[in-house]
Amino acid sequence: MMVGTGTTQSDLSRLSGVRQPSISGFLSERVHLSDDQLDRLLSCMGRRLEVVRRPVVPQLTRSERRSWQLHRQLSARLNPSSFEQWQPTIDRNLDRLRGRVTGQPHERSLQRWRDLVDQRDLPALHRVLAGLDRGSIEMREVSPMSGLLPDDVSRDVLELAG
């Protein structure tokens, strides 16, 4: 946009009031730029930001999709009471996984599971169990949630998943 409008970093800095080093950081993607900040900079060049929100089907492998569907069922059942019942199994699974898992991102994911369980952070657990972001997908690869769903529910989910 800057090239198309003939705007230099210095010009944009003067027009917007944003320091030139910050603009350089935005352009090199070293510094995160919010939608509001981008709209402010674009308006100085006679443009506006239009954000289009639309649902998209994520590109998941068969294994990732099956894992997500199983964990989504766990999320639907997760509440303070079920968490108390599940915690001994989750703790045993975390201890077992800790002895078997090596390398990143798995070690980091296991530590994140441990932290969420220790903190009893149910909202964050729900996000990991049902999330489709890369971090949630990676965490589910070393999930301590095995053995928590009834066998018939697991079987039905896996049959539907194909």
Those residues whose C-beta lies under 8 Å from the C-beta of residue 157, and which sit 6 or more positions away, are 66, 69, 70, 73, 149
In whole angstroms, what is the distance from residue 45 CA to residue 36 CA? Answer: 15
In whole angstroms, what is the distance from residue 91 CA to residue 66 CA? Answer: 23
Those residues whose C-beta lies under 8 Å from the C-beta of residue 74, and which sit 6 or more positions away, are 129, 145, 148, 149
**Which tokens sit at 35?**
């939608």
In whole angstroms, what is the distance from residue 77 CA to residue 150 CA? Answer: 11
- DSSP 8-state symbol, 162: -
Residues 75/82, Cβ–Cβ less than 8 Å: no
Please name the residue that has the structure tokens 């010009």: 11
Residue 33: its pLDDT value, please? 87
CA-wise closest residue to 122 among 83, 67, 161: 83
Residue 31: its pLDDT value, please? 84
pTM above 0.95, yes or no: no
Residue-level pLDDT, tens digit, the chain, 162 residues: 889 899 999 999 999 999 999 999 999 988 888 899 899 999 999 999 998 889 998 999 999 999 999 999 999 999 999 999 999 999 999 999 999 999 999 999 999 999 999 999 999 999 999 999 999 999 999 999 999 999 999 989 888 876
Residue 124: its pLDDT value, please? 97
Residue 78: its pLDDT value, please? 97
In whole angstroms, what is the distance from residue 93 CA to residue 105 CA? Answer: 18
**Which tokens sit at 146?**
């095995």
Residue 162: its pLDDT value, please? 67
